[in-house]
Structures are given as structure tokens and as C-alpha cells.
Structure 1
């Protein structure tokens, strides 16, 4: 091990998505590796489709908050969070405040380098500090082993399979100090 060093990457920035991000989102949402688990591999997104989907979120017309993840000043990924309706399909009681999150790294050569863990951990801290969330959930495809491993490193627990056993409900319970 002499001469080897461990580098910890800390220059990850998560910022609100803006109208200037449509092009990079369209690029990411046309990438096979992203669409494999975040869309449909046979249906890449155009800039107009990205604008139609994300502009209402940026404007606050839809209660989903979108963010862009940057490494240094370069965009590398996407994250969003939203409050689940009181009545939901996952079995949470109406007195629990549940938020869902979705995310992806848009640059495939950055997969498996620890960025996802930093992104998700940072987002958990942000949501815990800035919302009334009791629980944060996500629902990766069961076949998305890389993402599930990342979420478990961040403290998410497996709850149950659903959607004909193709998705996994995972939760992070926020401890109230």
C-alpha cells in the first residue's frame, strides 16, 4: 500500500434546475445507460420533450423540485424530490410525511466512482433539513443492482417489492432530534 493514496471527492454541487439545463438533460435522456433505468431505451428524449416535462417543475407549477448535480462546474446528474400524497399505494400512515426522490448520473464513465453515494447522502441531508419529511423513499428497478447498493450505503432499507416484483421500495427514516 506504500505510495497509494485515497482521494475523497467533495466538489459535488447540487443546484436548482433552470431553463438552461434542457439541452444537457436531453443528452442524458438519450443515453442508453441512463434510459435503461430512467425511461425507455427505445424512446430518447428531445429538447422539446424535456422542456415540456421539466419547465412546469422549474416554474413551481408541478410540486416536484428538480436539481442538477455538478462535479466542479460540469453537470453530471439529475435529482428531484416530491411530497407523496397523503393517500398512497405504499402503505404509509396519513400522519407520516413521506417524500420520494429520483436521481441518475448522466455521464456513464462516472458510474461506480462513489458520486452517487455523495449525491444521495447530500440530498438526504438537504431534505431532512428543509422539509417536514419523516421518511424518504425511492423505488429502483430490482435489476438496478448498482443503484440499490448505493442507496443501502446511504442508509436506505429494503421494504418490499412491488409492480409485479420489478421494483423495490426502499426507505430512509429521518430521526428527529
Structure 2
């Protein structure tokens, strides 16, 4: 295992702000061609301080170097209700690799594999949902390789997204899951 996921800390705020302004992250996060940040108006210190079992951020490291981040959400329980009215027993993931030189090296797959394993370690979790932009066909292929299947387009604010879902049984029967490193203690 080359990637280590750890809880985001206040010391990560400057890094998250830098990644939030990175053109490749912006391009994957919003359809707005004039956007200067990927996650508009996000106060990273507030997000990290508000971490709970229903919404938290992880930092991905390779050889102790931070390379990316993830958000893990219980979409039914999290306070912003970003996902609207959704069924219970789901998790939602968001992922981005902030360091451009770390793209296309398999780190995203490792990050997702660990986060998916962790989500499904809770026997109540039935599925994981994600919301890549409909225009981000590279992300669609990436998620398909992990077993996610498109369930439909949906607008989140001004962003046209293609929601994908990964059911527990699909993951448990997948070759990606079987190739994953042995289970470790829960991330948070």
C-alpha cells in the first residue's frame, strides 16, 4: 500500500486552499468556466473543525507527502443536505488529487479502494454514491473500473452531474476489492 489516508487537520488548511485553486481540480469540480476555486466559498478551517461521523475530510499521503483529499459523507444525515432526500445507509465520497505530478499513477484507485473498504466495514452501509460532472468522462471511466454504475443525471446547484452508485455486493464480488490491502482499523 503506497497511500495513507489520515484525518484532515487544521495544519492542512493552506494545502487545501492551494488545491482548491488548482486548475485541474477546478475543472473536475465545477462547470463554471469563470470559477477561481473548485469548491466556492468553502472555509477549510471551518470544514475541518466541523468534522463528525457524518462528514469528514481525509488527506492522502504518499511517503508522508500530502497529494490529495477525500470527503466522506453520510448523505442522509449531513447538515447541508447537499444530496437532498436520499435513502438511509448510504455513503457519498468526493476525491481529488491536488498535486498535478501525482495524477495518473494509481493513487486515486488506492484512495478510493481504502475509502470504499472503510465505508463497507460498517455492515449497515448498502451503497456508495458519487457525483462527477456529466462532462467529466475520465472520471466516469475511473469510477466504472471500481464497479460504480451511472444512475442518472442531476443538477447540484449549477453543476450538471452524472450520479453513480456502487452497491455493497458489487464491491464484495469485484476484483478491485479482492486486490485491496488487508483491512485496517477505521479511518475516523
Partner in structure 2 of residue 118 of structure 1: 110
Aligned to 2:180: none
Aligned residues: 161
Larger radius of gyration: 1
**Which aligned segments of 4 or more residues in structure 1 are displaced greater than 4 angstroms?**
86-90
Contact 1:117 / 1:153 at 8 angstroms: preserved in 2?
Answer: no
Q: Which consecutive residues of structure 1, in runs of 5 or more, have no partner in the other structure?
A: 1-9
Provide the TM-score with structure 1 as the length reference: 0.78
Shift of 1:109: 2.2
1:28 to 1, 19, 31: 19
CA distance in 2, matches of 1:50, 1:131: 31
Stretch moving more, 161-170 or 101-110: 161-170
Cα deviation, residue 146, structure 1: 1.9
**Structure 2, unaligned runs of 5 or more:** 173-188
Whether 1:148 aligns to 2:151 is: no
Q: 1:4 maps to what in 2?
A: none
Q: CA deviation at 1:42?
A: 3.0
**2:73 corresponds to 1:73:** no
Number of the residue aligned with 1:7: none
Which one has more relative contact order, counting CA pairs under 8 Å at least 6 apart? 2
What is the CA-CA distance between 1:131 and the residue it aligns to? 6.1
User: Which residue of structure 2 aligns with residue 43 of structure 1?
Assistant: 36
2:74 & 2:54 partners in 1: Cα distance? 8
How far apart are 1:38 and its partner, in Å? 2.5
Greater shift, 24-33 or 77-86, is seen at 77-86
| Cα distance in 2, alignment partners of residues 22 and 38 from structure 1 | 18
Query: Could you state the TM-score of these two structures normalised by the residue count of structure 2?
Result: 0.74
Contact 1:120 1:151 in 2 (8 A): no
